[in-house]
Amino acid sequence: MTMKLDQLRSFEMVARVGHFTRAAEELYLAQPSLSRQIAALEAHLGTELFHRRPSGVTLTNAGELLLPIARRMLGDAQAAHDQIQELAGLRRGRVRLGAPPTLCVSLVADVLAAFRSAYPGVELHITEGGSRFLVEALNESTLDLALVVTRGTDPSVPGTELVPLLSEELVVISAAKSGSPEEFTLEELARVPQVAFNRSYELRVATDAAFSAAGLEPLIAVEGGEMDAVLRFVERGLGVAVVPAMVVIDRPGLQSARLVRPSLTRTVNLARRNDVGPSAAAAAMQQFIFDTVDRLAAPGTELSRLVTAAPRN
């Protein structure tokens, strides 16, 4: 037998008002029920907690020792209840989201801005990395959700579900007002100085594979940059770069051209565990991701010809 919260609650109320009958009224209990709870608590502890007199009750030494402990336990229980209720209402909580750098500077930034505005009390933790690393982190329960990039058929991962979000073209970016053409073929692109990403980037792997398949050798002006550095170098006119279409949104220092013959695309997916349900905060984040994708790819928007939202059930 262990102490129960309702026993401690009854004990604390009797100690506060000094009378069994008034305590029962405060707790909306029948007095016999309250008396049984106190008797059971005393039996469990092996000592009396109250001196009982016709005029009321006072605490024994054991009762005085238990009272502050009981109040702490009741307070902790109430705090736990409040926090769970706040989480259910998304006034508190945490979401751990993973994404590649190319999405962190585009889609993720829009999602987080909207989510933060709606739920300012929810903590946001972002992890950048390659898609394989993010899926592993998801399955190790160090992430709640991840945005990952696929091209063609990717092997399935036990315990993980990939929900296609959108298909996105890769475009050629250059400095604004640089006079670049509206389209580049892959052969034309190979002859233009390029700012190339670090070879660890999936985007770099994909473009290198395209050049190799076409028997082309690209002209590299600057190599090894991370996302922010590549964008800044292109703005400064050091060369062009191949990036996903969404990267160019709200970047007046850049202009984009379509890549044709062949065009290169990628699929952005939401990765989530299919063996455990999401928390309330993660479920809300998932919906914000869906809504942001639909807004960016809506007909008539700047990206509608370059980004196509995937159908969802």
27-44: per-residue pLDDT in tens?
Answer: 999 999 999 999 999 999
Q: Are 17 and 26 in contact (CB under 8 A)?
A: yes
pLDDT tens column, 61-74: 999 999 999 998 99
The Cβ of residue 311 has, within 10 Å, a number of other Cβ atoms equal to 6
Pairing of strands 220-225, 194-197: parallel
Q: Are 242 and 201 in contact (CB under 8 A)?
A: no
Q: Say how far apart CA 111 and CA 296 lie, in whole Å.
A: 11
Beta bridge partners of 147: 270
User: Confidence band (pLDDT; 50, 70, 90) for 177?
Assistant: confident
Q: Which residues contact 118 (CB under 8 A, 6 or more apart)?
A: 284, 288
pLDDT tens column, 108-152: 999 999 999 999 989 999 999 988 899 988 988 889 999 999 886
Query: Hunting for tokens 């987080």 — which residue is that?
Result: 112
Q: Which residues contact 79 (CB under 8 A, 6 or more apart)?
A: none
Q: Say how far apart CA 208 and CA 202 lie, in whole Å.
A: 10
Angle at 176 between CA 171 and CA 179, to 5 degrees: 85
Which two three-digit tokens encode residue 241?
């770069």
Beta bridge partners of 210: none
Q: Say how far apart CA 98 and CA 146 lie, in whole Å.
A: 4
Domains and CATH numbers, the chain: 5-88 (1.10.10.10), 94-309 (3.40.190.290)
pLDDT tens column, 236-264: 999 999 999 999 988 999 999 999 999 99
User: Confidence band (pLDDT; 50, 70, 90) for 154?
Assistant: low
Q: Say how far apart CA 39 and CA 7 lie, in whole Å.
A: 9
In the chain, what is the greatest distance between 2 CA atoms, to the nearest angstrom?
102
Q: What is the DSSP letter of 74?
A: H
Instruction: Please report which residue ranges of the chain form alpha helices under DSSP H.
Output: 5-17, 20-27, 31-45, 61-88, 101-104, 107-118, 131-139, 186-190, 202-213, 227-235, 280-296
> Looking at the predicted structure, is the pLDDT value of residue 222 above 70?
yes
